[in-house]
Amino acid sequence: MIQLNIDEQKTLKSIKVTPYMQKAIALIEDFVENYPSKDEKIAYMAVFDEIFRILNEAKTDVDIYLRKRKARGEIKDEK
């Protein structure tokens, strides 16, 4: 397992509880789990080669989430 410093741990925790990041996190975890190398560090490094694809794939879910929040009056703009 990769060891994170305290600031990195806090940042990761805040990202993991951010609702619009859930799909991207799931896609990253799926990528790491299915990466050919069983070395987790290598797999996480490879995520950066795929980050554009991962974020684009998550965009639809993020857009839906933001539209729902706008419809409930929680936010004014989806952007």
Residues 25-71: pLDDT tens digits? 999 999 999 999 989 889 989 999 999 999 999 999 999 999 999 99
Asked whether residue 78 is domain-assigned, the answer is no
Q: How many domains does the chain have?
A: 1
Asked whether residue 35 is domain-assigned, the answer is yes
> Binning pLDDT at 50, 70 and 90, where does residue 8 land?
confident
Q: Which domain holds residue 25?
A: 6-71
Asked whether residue 23 is domain-assigned, the answer is yes
Number of C-beta neighbours around residue 26 at 10 A: 13
> Which CA distances in Å does 15 have to 35, 37, 61, 75?
22, 25, 16, 19
Handedness of CA 22, 58, 5, 32 (dihedral sign): positive
Asked whether residue 55 is domain-assigned, the answer is yes
pTM of this prediction?
A: 0.75
Q: Summarize pLDDT for 19-35 with one digit per residue, the tens.
A: 989 999 999 999 999 99
Say yes or no to pLDDT of 3 above 70: yes
> Which CA distances in Å does 54 have to 60, 68, 70, 71?
11, 22, 24, 26
Asked whether residue 19 is domain-assigned, the answer is yes
Asked whether residue 77 is domain-assigned, the answer is no
> Binning pLDDT at 50, 70 and 90, where does residue 1 land?
low
Asked whether residue 58 is domain-assigned, the answer is yes
Composition of the chain by helix, strand, coil, percent to 5: 75, 0, 25
